[in-house]
């Protein structure tokens, strides 16, 4: 059974159809990249899978380990193993990063029938992960994402990913707002999390990120449809030639 299956997905916002029949299959261990110009539905796809309000699924389904994702609330999907690394992680004043992490981690453990994590054990776990990501120790004491730089925010997203150990991680424009050093650190973090039973869906506008997170499959999303699929060389081709050819084809 595929890990994540997207079948003929149609999504509208208001009266406008944004996704016009997307089908994708992600197996364990795979990294899929979705590339496309701005306003083509890339963020819609990630939001719909994660369960954000405001989108109408008019047709199609998404299955996680064979389970209907649309039958679950956003939090249930998260606990079932869908992780969205946000393009713009939200700030929550007064809530320390560590207390947020602990709450999220315990929500997951509870769903798995495990006891809450012991405070000391939690601290040890977080410290080992922050160290691996080159994050300052005191970062987890700061309010979640409040006053974080672009790089810090993205690192915090990867830190959360590493703690919550998802089945499918969706990276929504993770490279936006990152300089090359930060991009490398974040990518290393993601690569370290690649496992045979985990899949990644990397959404990006530029090929740059894919130099660091090397995909197994690349899909070109144009006007709500997948216009082409291929291997990692497709990304290089897009970088060189742009999307024009597909835009023409789709229109």
Partner 1 sequence: MAVTRETAATVKEIEQYKYGFVTDIESDKAPKGLSEDIIRFISAKKNEPDWMLEGRLKAYRHWLTQADEEPAWAKLHYPKIDYQDAYYYAAPKQAKLASLDEVDPKLLETYKKLGIPLLEQQMLAGVAVDAVFDSVSVATTYKKKLEEMGVIFMPISEAVHKHPELVKKYLGSVVPYTDNFFATLNAAVFTDGSFVYIPKGLRCPMELSTYFRINEKNTGQFERTLIIADEGSYVSYLEGCTAPQRDENQLHAAVVELVALDDAEIKYSTVQNWYPGDAQGKGGIYNFVTKRAACRGRNSKVMWTQVETGSAITWKYPSCILQGDNSTGEFYSVAITNNRQQADTGTKMIHLGRNTKSKIISKGISAGHADNTYRGLVRIGAKADNARNYTQCDSLLIGSTCGAHTVPYIETKNPTAHTEHEATTSKISEDQLFYCMQRGMTQEEAVSLIVNGFCKEVLQTLPMEFAVEAQKLVGISLEGSVG
Q: Which of 132, 143, 214, 236 binds partner 1 (CB under 8 A)?
A: 143
Judged by beta carbon, residue 17 or residue 165, the one nearer partner 1 is 165
Judged by phi (left if over 0) then psi (alpha if -120 to 50, else beta), residue 224 lies in: left
Choose the binding region for partner 1 from 21-29, 50-58, 181-189, 196-204 (rule: CB under 8 A): 50-58
Cα 44 from Cα 31, distance rounded (Å): 19
Beta strands in 120-222 (DSSP E): 168-172, 199-204, 217-222
Residues 80-99 that bind partner 1 (CB under 8 A): 83-84, 86, 89-90, 92-95, 99
From residue 235, how far is each of 27, 37, 86, 200, 232 by CA, in Å? 20, 13, 22, 16, 6
> Least distance to partner 1 from the beta carbon of 15, Å?
21
Residues in region 212-241 near partner 1 by CB under 8 A = none
Task: Please tell me whether residue 73 binds partner 1 under the rule CB under 8 A.
Answer: yes
b vs e for 36-58, b when ≥16 Cβ sit within 10 Å of the residue's Cβ?
Answer: bbeebbbbbbbbbbbbeeebeee
Using CB under 8 A, which residues numbered 170 to 199 contact partner 1? none
Least Å distance, CB 77 to partner 1, is 8
Q: Write the CB contacts of 251 (distance below 8 Å, at least 6 apart in sequence).
A: 223
138 binds partner 1 (CB under 8 A): no
At 242, give phi and psi (nearest 5°): 80, -175
Tokens describing residue 171 = 């990276």
Binds partner 1 by CB under 8 A, chosen from 20, 32, 42, 108: 108
155 part of the interface to partner 1, by CB under 8 A: no
Q: Residue 114, interface with partner 1 (CB under 8 A)? A: no
Residue ranges in contact with partner 1 by CB under 8 A: 50-53, 73-75, 77-79, 83-84, 86, 89-90, 92-95, 99-100, 102-104, 106-108, 110-111, 116, 143-144, 160, 164
């Amino acid at each position: 059974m595929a890990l994540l299956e997207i079948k003929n997905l149609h999504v509208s916002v208001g009266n406008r159809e944004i996704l016009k029949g997307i089908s994708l299959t992600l197996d364990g261990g795979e990294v899929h990249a979705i590339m496309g110009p701005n306003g083509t539905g890339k963020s819609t796809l990630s939001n719909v899978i994660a369960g954000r309000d405001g989108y109408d699924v008019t047709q199609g389904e998404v299955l996680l380990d064979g389970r209907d994702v649309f039958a679950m609330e956003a939090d249930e999907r998260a606990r079932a193993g869908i992780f969205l690394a946000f393009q713009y992680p939200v700030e929550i004043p007064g809530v320390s990063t560590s207390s947020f992490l602990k709450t999220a981690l315990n929500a997951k453990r509870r769903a798995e029938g495990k006891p809450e994590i012991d405070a000391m054990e939690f601290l040890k776990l977080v410290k080992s992960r922050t160290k691996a990501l080159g994050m300052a120790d005191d970062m987890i004491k700061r309010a979640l994402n409040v006053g974080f730089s672009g790089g810090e925010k993205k690192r915090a997203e990867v830190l959360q990913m590493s703690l919550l150990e998802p089945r499918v991680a969706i990276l929504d424009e993770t490279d936006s707002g990152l300089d090359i050093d930060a991009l490398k650190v974040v990518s290393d973090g993601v690569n370290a999390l690649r496992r045979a039973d985990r899949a990644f869906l990397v959404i990006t506008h530029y090929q740059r990120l894919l130099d660091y997170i090397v995909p197994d499959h690349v899909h070109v999303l144009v006007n709500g449809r997948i216009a082409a699929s291929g291997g990692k060389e497709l990304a290089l081709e897009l970088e060189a030639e742009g999307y024009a050819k597909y835009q023409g084809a789709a229109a």
